[in-house]
């Protein structure tokens, strides 16, 4: 279905050097912020106290609860509902000299100022060792996804295509991490899930574009056409699909970001950034890299071997 038709091919490759330079600068900046500022890990990674409270008569406003907990000066508190706003789960970072029991009592006293009917359901302490295990498991999951993508692309495509797609996908991940480091947004398990989703999403876009490029190279009508022209034609042919697919997905993710609340905020931010850069990298990073690696028609269509004539 082509809701958006382009009468002429868009000359993407004529801007290839500029877009590649922009991508390189963005990548270096993201790495710089990762090393200088680092990620702002959530309680799941750093350790802390998880408190569950219940309201008997009237539900509580999570935003009001957050503002109350700010009076403790314990750092950023995570508050989310458990089904209804009568049950809340509160995550607070550890503080030296304050035990979980003392912290839960302080939280309960603050909350009772607004709702005397609130009661404590459960208190759990997450130690630094558990947080370290989560970091290791999260990095292992990310590494396994990356290795799986590398194997898949290496099997499916010629090495120039595979390497270009791998670089573009790693570019997306580093840019997302760099944004979280720059703005010190909280990096939680939901954010990690968002990054893993972006990896698959970006790979899919690269595969669609590269498949069309390979088809174009094999078409008899494209014989004699230069490779940049073939790539521009392939990208333009997939633009309608890209606009429809990514536009509808981005609209859903933005709605999640605006109305999903703090519990989904990090996940939605990671997806929002990832979808935008996924399109950018597939079109304006991976495709110019094909030219950089010297893609030719002979890389796709192997010339037939001439049989040697028997010498009489």
Domain boundaries, the chain: 12-40+131-299, 48-126
Q: Which residues of 177-192 are buried (b: 16+ CB within 10 A; e: fewer)?
A: bbbbbeeebbbbebbb
Give the pLDDT of residue 253.
92
**pLDDT of 188 strictly over 80:** yes
Does the 12-40+131-299 domain belong in CATH 1.20.1640.10?
yes
What does the buried/exposed string (b/e) look like for 238-247 if buried means 16 or more CB atoms within 10 Å of the residue's CB?
bbebbeebbe
pLDDT of 269 strictly over 50: yes
Residue 312 has pLDDT above 50, yes or no: no
Query: Span 206-226, mean pLDDT?
Result: 88
Domains 12-40+131-299 and 48-126 share a fold: no
Q: How far is CA 42 from CA 48, 78, 102, 125, in A?
A: 9, 9, 21, 14
Q: Are 214 and 301 in contact (CB under 8 A)?
A: no
Q: Hey, how many other C-beta atoms are within 10 angstroms of the C-beta on 38?
A: 12
Read off the pLDDT of residues 88-141 as tens digits, 9 standing for 90 and up: 888 888 777 777 788 888 888 888 888 888 888 888 877 666 667 777 887 788
295: three-class secondary structure by DSSP: coil
Q: Are 174 and 30 in contact (CB under 8 A)?
A: yes
pTM for the whole structure: 0.78
Domain 48-126 falls in which CATH fold?
A: Alpha-Beta Plaits (3.30.70)
């Amino acid at each position: 279905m082509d809701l958006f038709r382009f009468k002429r091919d868009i000359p993407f490759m004529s801007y290839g050097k500029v877009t590649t330079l922009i991508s390189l600068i963005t990548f270096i900046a993201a790495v710089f912020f990762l090393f200088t500022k680092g990620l702002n890990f959530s309680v799941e990674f750093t350790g802390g106290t998880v408190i569950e409270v219940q309201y008997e008569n009237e539900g509580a406003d999570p935003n009001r609860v957050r503002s109350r907990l700010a009076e403790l000066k314990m750092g950023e508190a995570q508050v989310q509902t458990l089904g209804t706003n009568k049950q809340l789960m509160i995550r607070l970072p550890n503080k030296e000299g304050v035990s979980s029991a003392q912290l839960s009592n302080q939280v309960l006293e603050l909350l009772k100022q607004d709702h005397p009917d609130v009661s404590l359901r459960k208190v759990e302490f997450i130690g630094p060792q558990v947080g370290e295990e989560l970091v290791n498991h999260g990095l292992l999951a990310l590494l396994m996804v990356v290795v799986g993508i590398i194997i898949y692309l290496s099997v499916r495509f010629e090495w120039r295509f595979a390497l270009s797609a791998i670089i573009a996908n790693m570019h997306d991940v580093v840019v997302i991490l760099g944004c979280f480091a720059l703005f010190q947004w909280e990096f939680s398990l939901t954010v990690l899930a968002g990054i893993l989703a972006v990896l698959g999403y970006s790979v899919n876009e690269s595969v669609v574009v590269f498949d069309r490029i390979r088809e174009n190279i094999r078409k008899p009508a494209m014989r004699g056409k230069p490779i940049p022209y073939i790539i521009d034609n392939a990208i333009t042919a997939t633009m309608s699909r890209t606009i429809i697919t990514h536009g509808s997905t981005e609209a859903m993710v933005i709605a999640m970001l605006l109305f999903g609340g703090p519990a989904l905020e990090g996940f939605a931010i990671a997806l929002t950034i990832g979808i935008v850069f996924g399109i950018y990298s597939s079109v304006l990073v991976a495709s110019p890299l094909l030219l950089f690696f010297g893609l030719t028609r002979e890389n796709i269509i192997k010339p037939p071997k001439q049989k040697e004539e028997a010498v009489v």
